[in-house]
Amino acid sequence: MNPVTNGALKSKKTSKKPEYSRFTQQELPAWKPILTPGWVITSFLAIAFLFIPIGLVSLFASERVVEIVYRYDQDCVPEMYRGNVSAYIRNSLTNKTCIGNITVPKKMDPPIFVYYQLDNFYQNHRRYVKSRSDKQLRSAAYESSTKECEPEARFNKSGDPVPIVPCGLIAWSLFNDTYNLIKKDKVLNINKKGIAWKSDTKVKFGSNVYPKNFQSNDLIGGGKLNESIPLSKQEDLIVWMRTAALPTFRKLYGKINTSLEAHDTITVVLENNYNTYSFGGQKKLVLSTTSWIGGKNDFLGIAYLTVGGICLFMALNFILLYVFKPRPLGDPSYLSWNRKAVN
């Protein structure tokens, strides 16, 4: 017989029992909200009572904004060119000056913002938004990084392609109508300083980058730039380069720091240079005050009032529901198998 040792009993090894912790047993302390009828009604009422005042305040703020919109793209085309607008707009020799009148409906307190508004201009078109070189705008060292700027990247200077600064379709299509406002024979001063974001003038656009070869190609898209002023000072360009999100947009032209009284008549003397006729776009001059909510827009106020109203209505409905068709919470007799047994 073998001298048998105690080998078989060695199996009493360490226990594999999982260590207890609230985490592993999925028993972490937890907040288990249950929306009781009370809570449901309270939430609806809370939304209603939050939204209705906000709606009213927004609507009120929007009402206080005074806005004058003056569409001039059609009126500013002389009779003789009405049939052939593009001949008029593309000919640099025609007189583009145009005069119009606007009336101030209500008193406007400074600052009054002067915008131009373009309709149907897809500044968010894919070809367009991509056609810019942020590197080039920022630093003179990247002058020739124009790869993204096609088809407005280089100018063929006597067979030798040189980079255009600022390159790209966006810069190329710079808006170039100009406005002068005259109130009672006095020129209203439009302050064009500080219309661009500070972050843009300080960081994004370089103070050592000067326009070069700009608008030198045959097809001219828009405004020209003074080659002796660095890009960081060309605020019109900077504003234009912040491409608009939507096909109908406004861009800041300048600010008026005097107030306009109701029924004032203002004469607008403008240079109608920019070609929106090719795509049937509209051009408008907008004078507007602002409020905390921005420009004149009733939408947010109405939307808030609607949502608030609906929630109030829902709250009432739920109250009725709970009164006329109550259900005790957690009543086991409502469990499906118990209901079945009763039937």
Partner 1 sequence: MSLDDAQIVNVNNPQQPSSPDTTLQRHVLDLGSKRSRDSERYSSISMSHREINDGDARLVHVNDALKTNERFEFAGNSIKTAKYSLFSFLPRNLFEQFHRVAYIYFLIIAILNQLPQLAVFGRGASILPLSFVLLVTAVKDAYEDWRRHRSDRIENNRMASVLVSDRFQQKKWKDIQVGEIIRFSADDTIPCDTVLLSTSDPTGVAYIQTINLDGESNLKTRYAKQETLCKTPEKDVINGFIKCEKPNRNIYGFMATMEIDGKHLSLGPSNIVLRGCVLKNTNWAVGVAVYCGRETKAMLNSSGAPSKRSRLETRMNREIILLSVFLVALCMAVSVCAGVWLKRHENELEVLQFYRKKDYSEPEVENYNYSGIGMEIFFTFLMSVIVFQIMIPISLYISMELVRVGQAYFMIRDNKMYDETSNSRFQCRALNINEDLGQIKYVFSDKTGTLTENKMEFKYASIFGVDYSGEKTNFEGEQRGYSIQVNGQVWRPKMKVEVDKELLELSKDGNNTEAGKHIYDFFLALAACNTIVPIVVDTPDPAEKLVDYQGESPDEQALVYAAAAYGFMLMERTSGHIVIDIQGERQRFNVLGMHEFDSDRKRMSVILGFPDGSVKVIVKGADNSMFNIIDKTLNLDILKATEGHLQSYSSIGLRTLVVGMRELGVPEFERWQSSYETASTAVMGRVALLRKVAINLENNLEIVGASAIEDRLQKGVPEAIESLRKADMKVWVLTGDKQETAISIGYSSRLLTSNMHQVVINSNSKMSSKTSLEDALITCRNFLVPGGSDGNTTSVALIIDGTSLVYILDTELEEQLFELASNCAVVLCCRVAPLQKAGIVALIKKRTDDMTLAIGDGANDVSMIQMADVGIGISGQEGRQAVMASDFAMGQFRFLVPLLLVHGHWNYHRMGYMILYNFYRNAVFVLVLFWYVLFTGFTLTTAITEWSSVLYSILYTSVPTIVVAILDKDSSRRSLMAYPQLYGAGQRHESYNSTLFWLTIADTLWQSIVVFYVPLFAYWKSDIDGSSLGDLWTLAVVFLVNIHLAMDVIRWTWVSHASIWGSIIATCICVVIIDVIPVLPGYWAIFDLASKGSFWVCLLGMSIAAVVPRFGVKMFIQHCKPSDIQIAREADKFGSSMELARQEIELNPSRR
Q: In the window 83-142, what residues touch partner 1 (CB under 8 A)?
A: 86, 115, 117, 121-129, 132, 134-135, 138
Q: Is 70 in the site for partner 1 (CB under 8 A)?
A: no
Q: Does 341 bind partner 1 (CB under 8 A)?
A: yes
Size of the site for partner 1 (CB under 8 A): 115
User: How far, in Å, CA of 220 to CA of 222, rounded?
Assistant: 6
- In degrees and rounded to multiples of 5, residue 150 shows phi and psi of -50, 145
Least distance (Å) between residue 281 CB and partner 1: 9
Measured from the CB of residue 261, what is the shortest distance to partner 1 in angstroms? 25
User: Which residues from 15-54 bind partner 1, rule CB under 8 A?
Assistant: 15-20, 24-26, 28-35, 37, 40, 43-44, 47, 51, 54
- Cβ-based neighbour number of residue 317 at 10 Å: 12
CB of 298 to partner 1, least distance (A): 10
CA angle 103, 108, 112 (to 5 degrees): 100
Nearest approach in angstroms of CB 183 to partner 1 is 24
Measured between alpha carbons, how far is 114 from 182 in angstroms, rounded to an integer?
13
Least distance between partner 1 and beta carbon 321 (Å): 6
Give me the phi and psi of 245, to 5 degrees please.
-80, -30
Residue 186 binds partner 1, judged by CB under 8 A: no
Binding mask 199-218 for partner 1 (x = CB under 8 A): xx--xx------------xx
**At its nearest, how many Å lie between partner 1 and the CB of residue 53?**
12
Position among 64, 81, 183, 197 found at the interface with partner 1 (CB under 8 A): 197
Residues 6+ apart with CB under 8 A from 191: 254, 255, 256, 257
The answer to whether 267 contacts partner 1 (rule: CB under 8 A) is no
CA distance 290 to 152: 37
Quick one: tokens of 18? 């999982």
Residue with smaller CB distance to partner 1, 116 or 210: 116
Structure tokens at 56: 């009213």
Site mask, partner 1, residues 155-174, x = CB under 8 A?
Answer: xx--x-x-------x--xx-
Nearest approach, Cβ of residue 23 and partner 1 (Å): 9
CB of 31 or CB of 228, closer to partner 1:
31
Which one of 58, 178, 234, 289 is in contact with partner 1 (CB under 8 A)?
A: 58
Distance CA 311, CA 45 (A): 7
- Nearest distance, CB of residue 231 and partner 1, angstroms: 13
The answer to whether the Cα torsion of 121, 124, 130, 132 is positive or negative is: positive
- Give the three-state DSSP class for 234: coil
List binders of partner 1 among 298-317 (CB under 8 A): 299-300, 303-304, 307, 310-311, 314
The CA distance from 257 to 70, in Å, is 20
Contact 206, 232 (CB under 8 A): yes
Buried b / exposed e along 228-266 (16+ C-beta atoms within 10 A): eebbbebbbbbbbbeebeeeebbbbbbbbeeebeeebeb
